Structure 1
């Protein structure tokens, strides 16, 4: 499934309903209200809950990684480059938030290249909260400037390059925040990170997040489920940065609130995609149940139809009365507005001459041999076969276009010829052959049974007139034929 393009419109995962938009808007407004209320008390000291951040941080890392995993798989399926950028953005965010979690909980090495220092955690926070909005801006830009579908053969190269670049960037930023922290400005002193604002690093990060949030919202009307909930995620990320900067230090109301906003930002896209996929599974299950019910009803109806309708006593296929009933049903079926309907009228060539020279018992043998061959070919293409009268047969092919019906007619010509029934009194072959006239109704085209049969009969007459052992279609721009001793290409 192509999750960025829906009905030739960009950035669609699935078609989003007004109700889903209202839910997303409600979530955003609730977060905004709670954040605004918390801003007045952002610096209020709260009890130190040492397990709070590791638990939420681990959930946030898992949310980012799982989101990137799903997006990587969607990229492999749809081959749309913006999805690769978005997947890489969530992967890098997950890696940097993991490094931040390890640093804050004292799990980074105490010595060596990646030894944690007093400024490591705060700079990892800065890198984390800068890379996410930058990735979102790149994603938004790519939606407008890169709409090409990537060649399937290049997918491994793109996936390898994307993941490798993310890992390298993550490791380089970790090295900069550890081994290179002496070259970076001091942003935290004694647990207080007011200097984060004084050095303008914090405001710059906030402005970057605000820009990404605004860009993720527009254009509003053209967004689908993915874009709507991505906007909510970016907005939650912005609110988290706002609370962090307002708090000024750890273990305050603003600091705890910022962690919750970060968790929402890392999981809301994942939850929205899972919700949509679950809806598809539910819909698929419902359709499967309906299909099973339809199949059972169809089998029951077919059995009743077989019992109630007439069967030709000689050939053991449907007779003319049954044919009339089925044709009427197909002409009036609801799917006629969306499907083709083809009709083949078939006549055994020089059958009278066969009867005259081989006797009526021989003629009956021919009918009993030809009928099952025609029925087998028709059933293979979900068609209906009937003995129309005498040596003439009729085949109804619902849902088959003219080209498909012509291909089926070719198969029938060859199938009958392969019976190799001798006919020394035929003018076209030394074996039994058939002529076929066909007619196809296009989707929505109206016709009654009389006119439909008449057009197919007229085509059958033309097939006989043109030499028999062939097929001709009514109103076809490319009348086609196949003689037992000729090869005709279409």
Structure 2
């Protein structure tokens, strides 16, 4: 029985396999405790990999997945987007943190909803910035995808009178498109996407800039 207990992941045989009522009760109790521990481990694992507000992946999980894309199962085509909500600090200061939190959750939902036939991860990168990684064995139009994200977020029609140029909350997007990137490209992908995001902001915000990885 001890060997079976070890090989079954710490669970006892089903209570029905025992004859005495004491062993039936003991097996039932042990299996219930083991089940509760397994559930707790799953909850803790989920919490360690997800943002508690938006319930999408956090930066830790993003980095883990991206490294997997680059090493364990390298994809032929990969794009990394950094998505930043325009003038979010002013929005937050004007309407309060509750409205700010609702806006963050709405943007996260939109980023998850944009369809892609391949590997995809959406993560909160920090503050009002998100990261979207797409990976596929087939070539795809990264600029078209960026435009879908930008327009769908604007279509949320979240009023933003603090922006003199647009009445609704908008985003700036910087992306880098790579063909067969390797693990040594990891930091460069973020750096080049960040530079693309900087140029999107410098040219007026509410737009995207996607560049080929170099």
Q: Which residue number corresponds to residue 397 of structure 1?
A: 134
Q: How does 1:15-414 map to 2 (within 5 A)?
A: 307=46, 309-336=48-75, 339-377=76-114, 382-399=119-136, 404-414=141-151
**Structure 1 or 2: more strand by fraction:** 2
Q: More relative contact order in 1 or in 2 (CA 8 Å, sep 6+)?
A: 2
**Structure 1 or 2: more helix by fraction:** 1
Q: Which residue among 402, 410, 420 is the counterpart of 2:157?
A: 420
Judged with a 3 Å threshold, the aligned counterparts in structure 2 of structure 1 residues 451 and 418 are, in CA distance, closer, same or farther, namely same
TM-score by length of 2: 0.72
Structure 2 stretches lacking a partner, 5+ long = 1-41
Rounded to whole Å, the distance in 2 between the matches of 1:470 and 1:379 is 20
Query: Which is greater in Rg?
Result: 1
Q: Which residue number corresponds to residue 439 of structure 1?
A: 176
TM-superposed CA distance for 1:347, in Å, is 0.2
Q: Which residue number corresponds to residue 36 of structure 2?
A: none
Q: Which residue number corresponds to residue 32 of structure 2?
A: none
Query: RMSD of the TM alignment (CA)?
Result: 2.5
Q: Judge conservation of contact 2:153–2:171 (CA < 8 Å) in 1.
A: yes
Post-superposition CA distance 1:41-61 (Å, at most 9, x none)? xxxxxxxxxxxxxxxxxxxxx
Rounded to whole Å, the distance in 1 between the matches of 2:154 and 2:44 is 32
SS of residue paired to 1:472: strand
Q: Judge conservation of contact 1:343–1:440 (CA < 8 Å) in 2.
A: yes
TM-superposed CA distance for 1:429, in Å, is 0.7
Rounded to whole Å, the distance in 1 between the matches of 2:121 and 2:131 is 8
Judged with a 3 Å threshold, the aligned counterparts in structure 2 of structure 1 residues 437 and 378 are, in CA distance, closer, same or farther, namely farther
Q: Which residue number corresponds to residue 41 of structure 1?
A: none
Q: Judge conservation of contact 1:401–1:440 (CA < 8 Å) in 2.
A: no
Q: Judge conservation of contact 2:71–2:183 (CA < 8 Å) in 1.
A: no
TM-superposed CA distance for 1:307, in Å, is 3.3
TM-superposed CA distance for 1:390, in Å, is 0.1
Structure 1 stretches lacking a partner, 5+ long = 1-302, 477-490
TM-score by length of 1: 0.33
How many residues were matched structurally? 172
